Amino acid sequence: MTPDLLFKSLWDDYIERLCPSAEKVHQLLKEEEDLINDHIALRTFNVAPLGIDTLAKPFLALGYKACGDYLFESKKLVAKHFEHPDPTQPKVFISELKVEECSAELQAIVAKLVEQVDASKLEGQDFLYGGRLWDLDFQDYKELATESEYASWLAAHGYGANHFTVSVNQLNEFTEVQAVNDHLSESGFTINSVGGQVKGSPEVLLEQSSTMADKVKVEFSEGAELVPGGFYEFAKRYPMANGELYTGFVAASADKIFESTNG
Kind plus residue range of the DSSP H or E element containing 236: strand 231-237
Which pLDDT belongs to residue 25? 95
List the pLDDT tens digit at each of the 263 positions of the chain.
Answer: 899 999 999 999 999 999 999 999 999 999 888 899 999 999 999 999 999 999 999 999 999 999 999 999 999 999 999 999 999 999 999 999 999 999 999 999 999 999 999 999 999 999 999 999 999 999 999 999 999 999 999 999 999 999 999 999 999 999 999 999 999 999 999 999 999 999 999 999 999 999 999 999 999 999 999 999 999 999 999 999 999 999 999 999 999 999 999 86
**Residue 110 belongs to a domain with what CATH number?**
3.10.180.50
Model pLDDT for residues 122-149, shown as the tens digit of each residue: 999 999 999 999 999 999 999 999 999 9
CA distance 22 to 15: 6
Residue 98 in domain: yes
Q: How far apart are CA 151 and CA 165, in angstroms?
A: 22
Q: Which residues pair with 159 in a beta bridge?
A: 131
Classify residue 43: in a domain, yes or no. Answer: yes
List the beta bridge partners of residue 207.
Answer: 200, 236
Greatest CA span in the chain, whole angstroms? 56
Q: What is the tens place of the pLDDT at every residue in 181-204?
A: 999 999 999 999 999 999 999 999
In a domain, 50, yes or no: yes
Could you tell me if 45 and 154 are in contact, meaning their C-beta atoms sit under 8 angstroms apart? yes
% residues pLDDT > 70 (the chain): 100
Per the domain annotation, does 65 fall within a domain?
A: yes
Q: What is the pTM of this model?
A: 0.96
Whether 144 is in a domain gets the answer yes
Give first-to-last CA distance, the chain, whole Å. Answer: 35
Q: How far is the C-alpha of 182 from the C-alpha of 58, rounded, in Å?
A: 37
| Angle of the 149-157 helix axis to the 138-147 helix axis, nearest 10 | 150
In a domain, residue 263? The reply is: no
Let me know: does 19 contact 229? Beta carbons within 8 Å. Answer: yes
Domain membership of residue 61 (yes or no) is: yes
Asked, for residue 44, whether it belongs to a domain, the answer is yes
Q: How many domains does the chain have?
A: 1
Task: State the residue range of the domain holding 117.
Answer: 3-258
Phi and psi at residue 126, in whole multiples of 5°? -60, -30
Please tell me the distance from the alpha carbon of residue 155 to that of residue 137, in angstroms, as a whole number.
10
